[in-house]
Amino acid sequence: AAPTRVMSDQNTLALTFLVVALVLALPVLKFLGKQLGQLGGAPGSGTVVGTSYGGGDGLFTLAEVSKHNTSSDVWVVIKHKVYDLSEFIDEHPGGVQAIMKRAGSDATTGFFGPQHPSRVHDMIDEYLIGKLVLETEKDE
């Protein structure tokens, strides 16, 4: 009976290790899937998924930006540039509410606060969709 007990303990230990490894791997797999999805095609194909992820040629007025103020459709302005954070909001380390405070408006002051390390300033360009313009500039 003793060898069966030892095998059972080994199986339990192996199963426990497997479950812990899977739990730890899920966030990594989710992140990798998101990163691969952003590529939108074969390397060098130039495909951009959606309107965000650096496809920053749009011109938007503050009135247009203000319509994007829900957690599923959230745009912000930072230093006169417009960012679509819809895909990022659930991943924000400071929580959804930190972004929602400025959803659809100018978030420059909050963005450049002490809570953001300098690398965040480079990462934000991934979500750039355009620049903020006056209504008169858009018509030109």
Instruction: Output the DSSP codes for 8-30.
Output: HHHHHHHHHHHHHHHHHHHHHHH
Residue of 127, 123, 131, 125 lying closest to 57 (CA atoms): 131
DSSP 3-state assignment of 103?
coil
The pair of three-digit structure tokens given for residue 72, joined into one six-digit string = 């599923």
66-83 residue pLDDT tens: 999 998 999 999 999 999
Cα gap 18→32, rounded to integer Å: 20
Q: What is the pTM of this model?
A: 0.59
115-136 residue pLDDT tens: 766 767 678 888 899 999 988 8
